[in-house]
Amino acid sequence: MAADLEVAPAAPAYRVAYAPFSWTGFYIGVHAGGDTFAKNWLAPYTPNNLIAGCTTCGSQIGSHTAKSWLAGGQVGFNYQIAWFVAGVEAQVSATRLQGSGLGGLPLGLATFNTNTNSLGTIAARMGIAMDRGMFFVKGGGAWANDTFFTTTTAAPVFTSLTTTRWGWMIGVGGEWAFWDNWSVKVEYDHMEFRRQRQTLQPVGAGALAFDYDIEQTVDLVKVGVNYRFGWSPGPISARY
């Protein structure tokens, strides 16, 4: 009778697997790096400039370049479908880009100065995910907070203007998730601010308002760290 007893079935076996990594979620982060700019100043034919006796109107009168550090933060959102990642990101950076150059004005040689105090972008991002690695491109709007001012050598004439200019940007980079919700990225961005008319206001006696058409480009390279408020991969028990 004992030999005819049925054998109890074996307990099912389990193995632990992990869900695939996902870039989906909101994130915040910080970054640091370096940047450069190039500025071209032109004198247009305008009533302000004709009153000032402009003799160089219609031509480029000055240009300069500069390089500096930058540091700031970013916030954004990613959504991943299979290997494709789409998102949006806003960033702001403090910087100390300062450049100057000599040019001609009715009262003699003038020094044209530009200080870029801060930069920012609002851009769409598209990426190709390879598990914890991602290659991305981005594009959208850019802004720069600039101070333009001039001084002349023949007389104590000083004009100045602080303004925020808007343009466009494109960028490319790579990101690596080194620990669950933490990732590190390297990025290059190019910002273009097409020719815009700026009226520098007189500062002190003897100065007159003067108009300039100023065009500028900014290039930057940065390294950043992001923390993502999203789903983190965890263990899954699978029966086999």
- As a whole number, mean pLDDT of residues 69-90 equals 97
By C-alpha distance, which of 87, 99, 74 is closest to 187? Answer: 74
What is the pLDDT at residue 80?
95
pLDDT confidence bin for 36, thresholds 50/70/90: very high
pLDDT band for position 11 (cuts 50, 70, 90): low
CA 129, CA 138: separation in Å to the nearest integer? 15
Rounded-to-integer distance, Cα 235 and Cα 15, Å: 10
- pLDDT average, residue stretch 6-33: 76
Can you give the pLDDT at residue 202?
86
Helices (H), 18-81: 47-51
- Burial of 15 per CB tally in 10 Å (0-12, 13-18, 19+): exposed
**pTM over 0.85, yes/no:** no
22-233: CATH topology is Porin (2.40.160)
- Please check the confidence at residue 211 and state whether its pLDDT lies above 80: yes
Please report the pLDDT score of residue 106 as a whole number.
Answer: 52
pLDDT at 209: 87
In the three-class reduction of DSSP (H, G, I as helix; E, B as strand; rest coil), residue 153 is classed as coil
| 61-70, 120-129, 160-169, 180-189: segment of lowest average pLDDT | 61-70
Q: Are strands 158-179 and 108-130 parallel, antiparallel or unpaired?
A: unpaired
For residue 58, name the pLDDT band (cuts at 50, 70, 90).
confident
Q: With 60 as the cut, is the pLDDT of residue 67 above it?
A: yes
Res 162: pLDDT: 93
Rounded to an integer, the average pLDDT of 228-240 is 58
Where is average pLDDT lowest: 9-13, 45-49, 183-187? Answer: 9-13
Q: Are 146 and 117 in contact (CB under 8 A)?
A: yes
**What's the pLDDT tens digit per position in 152-208?**
766 556 789 999 999 999 999 999 999 889 999 999 999 999 999 999 998 877 778
Q: Collapsing DSSP states into helix, strand and coil, what is residue 165? A: strand
Residue 89 CB contacts under 8 Å (≥ 6 apart), including other chains: 74, 75, 76, 77, 121, 122, 123, 125, 138
- At residue 234, the pLDDT reads 47
* Domain positions in the chain: 22-233
- How do the residues of the chain divide into helix, strand and coil, expressed in percent and rounded to 5? 5, 75, 20
Of 10-19, 38-47, 137-146, 152-161, minimum mean pLDDT range: 10-19
What does the pLDDT read at residue 104?
Answer: 62
Read off the pLDDT of residues 103-114 as tens digits, 9 standing for 90 and up. 765 545 778 899
The residue ranking higher by pLDDT, 217 or 19, is 217
